[in-house]
């Protein structure tokens, strides 16, 4: 049989990436410590209950914020509507844990809110009147204001692609605007909204920094504690398995509930440019206010809070080795992007040219890495390396590979690779999907080999998708916390880990500078991508 480089490579990549899922599953065959007994009698139900409350709260709030803002911006024209359409995605630059620091710092006793009131109205006992946003409520707010962007972006693109005919049909049937919205517009955008909410659900269940900061016990913290406190990797993986199962069940339920409904019409050449409705007077004011308040609360508020502290405590700015942190972040971003792009390209091309069913299944499984919380991935990775080292490497009498992978850049980039592979794979895949297979075949018939077709035809064609993927990966890595925290080499810090460490030591003021840097860099990347993110514009 002829050796098929592309097929074998794609297979190897997919197999590597599904290792953590495999590891999580095999935990059922291993002994655990008595942590489970302790947990069962104490916090286990609380973990599950808290995870559910958090999930429901965040899903409701992100649905309201994301769909509401997407609807207003897509269908109406009002002062600032063009500005808000991209400004509203900036909140993605603020990770939930940084939002949590800002929220806590603003409303805490003698915090920023107190200072403002004191400045405006003089001395007074304002603390008892200032609401406190901590615990579960603060957590829901922090995660929602950071993650509603997923729903906003997907709902908006769906709204923009909705046929004008559909909306005119509603008018023709005599529907009010509200009725048109919930009987026509909203159901047609359902797959997009659900996709957005699924991403939010995965990120929420995976959230570590904010959950840890507000000391809310969820399954994620349970996993972390099983590992940190009891050194029980098998049990940590077992909880992870339930978390994974829960996430997959959410997907399956939604998929089944759709039955055979279709949500779009293939109107070839029938796309009619949607005309935005111009709002005046009070309606215009409300639309503007909704978007502005959302923009303010989700982005300006945490940015101002961090800026305020940076200015108020300038010594923190000088104490921090900003250049070093920047270089570390840049190093991780460049290396990971390079590795991810390289392998995702090979895998995508392998899938395209070999068209094998097994490869398709493995690729689908391998992209589920994004659904696995970072904490689980990191722990599963350590488990696997320890097992592999114990059972294979040592039996061959070779030096332990633990040091090579745990607490090293290699290990860190490997886990980033597993976690963010779906972003790279899907980003490139969506680029490929627009390219008819005839294009490849035409190239072969023009005398191009498979490699030459890949290099001379595909790469130039995919360059925009590649750029978009690189920026997206960079954005994720800059914000990423748990994997970096668990697997980074000794004394190797990023803006995210520095902010977390300062915050966990109750030095919120010191967390401000790295947080601010993180927000600024992430905002820069978002602005770079906004052209692609908002490319569905037909405005």
What is the closest distance, in whole angstroms, from the C-beta atom of residue 448 to another protein in the complex?
A: 6
What's the rounded Cα separation, in Å, for the pair 196 and 91?
A: 15
Q: How far apart are CA 202 and CA 457, in angstroms?
A: 36
Q: Say if residues 100 and 209 touch (Cβ distance below 8 Å).
A: yes
Burial 460-498 (b: 16+ CB within 10 A, else e): eebeebbbbbbbbbbbbbbbbbbbbbbbbeeebbbbbbb
Least separation in angstroms between residue 4's CB and another protein is 12
Nearer to another protein, 388 or 461 (CB): 461
**β-bridge mates for residue 277, sequence order:** 76
Distance, CA of 66 to CA of 291 (rounded, Å): 11
Contact mark string toward another protein, 456..475, x via CB under 8 A = -x--xx--------------
Q: Classify 107 as helix, strand or coil.
A: helix
Which is nearer to another protein, 323 or 438 (by Cβ)? 438
The window from 21-29, 190-198, 281-289, 455-463 that contacts another protein (CB under 8 A) reads 455-463
520 belongs to the binding site for another protein (CB under 8 A): no
Work out how close the CB of 260 gets to another protein at its nearest, in angstroms, rounded to a whole number: 24
Q: Minimum CB separation from another protein for residue 2, in Å?
A: 10
Going by the DSSP 8-state scheme, the letter that residue 182 receives in this structure is I
Instruction: In angstroms, give the least distance from the CB of 528 to another protein.
Output: 21
Owner of token pair 């850049």: 409
Select 409 or 435, whichever has its Cβ closest to another protein: 435
Identify the DSSP state of 212.
Answer: H
Instruction: Kindly state the smallest distance separating residue 356's Cβ from another protein, in Å.
Output: 13
Neighbours of 160 (CB within 10 A): 18
Q: How far is the CB of 85 from another protein (least distance, A)?
A: 24
Token pair recorded at residue 281:
């007077």
Stretch 338-367: interaction string toward another protein, x if CB under 8 A = ------------------------------
Q: What is the dihedral of CA 239, 244, 249, 252, to 10 degrees?
A: -170
Q: Residue 451 CB, nearest distance to another protein (Å)?
A: 11
- Under 8 Å CB-to-CB from 478, ≥6 apart: which residues? 329, 333, 494, 495, 496, 518, 521, 522, 525
Cβ neighbours around 387 below 10 Å, total: 14
- What is the CB neighbour count within 10 angstroms for residue 261? 9
Measured from the CB of residue 467, what is the shortest distance to another protein in angstroms?
A: 13
Closest to another protein by CB, 289 vs 456, is 456
Q: Which is nearer to another protein, 186 or 457 (CB)?
A: 457
Minimum gap (Å) between residue 452 Cβ and another protein: 8
Q: Binding to another protein (CB under 8 A): which residues in 393-452?
A: 434-436, 438-439, 441-449
Question: Can you say how many angstroms the Cα of residue 326 is from the centroid of all Cα atoms in its chain?
Answer: 21
State which residue, 255 or 456, has the beta carbon closest to another protein: 456
Nearer to another protein, 168 or 537 (CB): 537
Comparing CB distances to another protein, the nearer of 326 and 448 is 448
For 45-95, strand residue ranges (E) read: 76-77
Cβ closer to another protein: 337 or 465?
A: 465
Name which of residues 292 to 331 contact another protein (CB under 8 A).
none
Report the nearest approach of another protein to the CB of residue 508 (Å).
49
Cα 464 to Cα 532: distance, rounded to the nearest angstrom: 8
Angle between helices 322-354 and 357-366 (to 10 degrees): 160
Query: Nearer Cβ to another protein, position 313 or 448?
Result: 448
Residue with tokens 């960079």: 474
Give 3 or 121: the residue with its C-beta nearer to another protein.
3
- Judged by CB under 8 A, the stretch of 232-240, 299-307, 421-429, 454-462 that binds another protein is 454-462
CA dist 337 and 330 (Å) reads: 10
Residues forming contacts to another protein in the complex (CB under 8 A) are 434-436, 438-439, 441-449, 457, 460-461
């Amino acid at each position: 049989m002829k050796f098929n480089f592309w097929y074998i490579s794609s297979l190897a990549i997919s197999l590597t990436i599904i290792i953590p899922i495999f590891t999580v599953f095999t935990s059922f065959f291993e002994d655990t410590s008595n942590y489970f007994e302790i947990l069962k009698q104490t916090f286990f139900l609380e973990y599950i209950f808290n995870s559910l409350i958090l999930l429901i709260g965040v899903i409701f709030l992100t649905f309201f914020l994301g769909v509401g803002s997407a609807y207003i911006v897509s269908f109406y024209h009002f002062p600032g509507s063009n500005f808000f359409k991209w400004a509203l995605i900036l909140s993605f630059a603020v990770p939930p844990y940084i939002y949590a620091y800002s929220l806590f710092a603003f409303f805490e006793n003698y915090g920023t809110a107190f200072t403002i009131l004191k400045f405006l109205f003089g001395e007074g006992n304002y603390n008892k009147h200032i609401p406190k946003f901590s615990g579960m409520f603060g957590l829901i707010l922090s995660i929602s204001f950071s993650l509603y962007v997923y729903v906003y972006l997907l709902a908006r693109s769906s709204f923009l692609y909705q046929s004008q005919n559909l909306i005119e049909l509603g008018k023709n049937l005599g529907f009010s605007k509200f009725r048109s919205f919930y009987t026509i517009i909203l159901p047609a955008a359902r797959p997009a909204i659900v996709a957005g909410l699924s991403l939010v659900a995965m990120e929420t269940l995976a959230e570590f920094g904010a959950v840890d900061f507000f000391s809310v016990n969820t399954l994620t913290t349970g996993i972390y504690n099983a590992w940190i406190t009891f050194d029980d990797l098998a049990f940590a993986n077992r909880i992870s398995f339930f978390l994974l199962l829960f996430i997959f069940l959410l997907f399956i339920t939604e998929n089944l509930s759709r039955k055979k409904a279709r949500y779009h019409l293939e109107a070839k050449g029938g796309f009619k440019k949607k005309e935005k409705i111009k709002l005046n007077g009070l309606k215009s004011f409300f639309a503007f206010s909704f978007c502005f308040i959302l923009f303010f609360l989700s982005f300006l508020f945490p940015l101002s809070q961090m800026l305020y502290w940076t200015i108020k405590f300038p010594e923190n700015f000088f104490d921090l080795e900003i250049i070093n942190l920047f270089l570390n972040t840049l190093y991780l971003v460049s290396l990971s992007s390079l590795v991810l792009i390289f392998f995702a390209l090979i895998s995508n091309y392998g899938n395209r040219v070999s068209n094998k069913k097994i490869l398709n299944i493995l690729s689908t499984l391998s992209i589920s890495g994004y659904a696995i919380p970072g904490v689980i991935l990191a722990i599963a990775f350590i488990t696997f390396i320890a097992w592999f080292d114990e059972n294979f490497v040592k039996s061959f009498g070779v030096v332990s590979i633990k040091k090579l992978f745990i607490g090293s850049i290699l290990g860190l980039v490997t886990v980033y690779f597993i976690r963010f592979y779906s972003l790279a794979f899907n980003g490139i895949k969506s680029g490929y999907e627009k390219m008819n297979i005839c294009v490849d075949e035409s190239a072969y018939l023009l005398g191009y080999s498979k490699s030459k077709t890949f290099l001379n035809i595909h790469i130039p064609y995919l360059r925009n998708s590649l750029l978009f993927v690189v920026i997206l990966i960079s954005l994720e890595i800059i914000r990423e916390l748990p994997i970096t925290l668990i697997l980074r080499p000794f004394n190797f810090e990023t803006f995210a880990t520095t902010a977390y460490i300062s915050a966990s030591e109750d030095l919120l003021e010191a967390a401000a500078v790295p947080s601010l840097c993180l927000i600024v860099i992430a905002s820069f990347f978002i602005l770079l991508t906004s052209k692609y993110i908002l490319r569905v514009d037909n405005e």
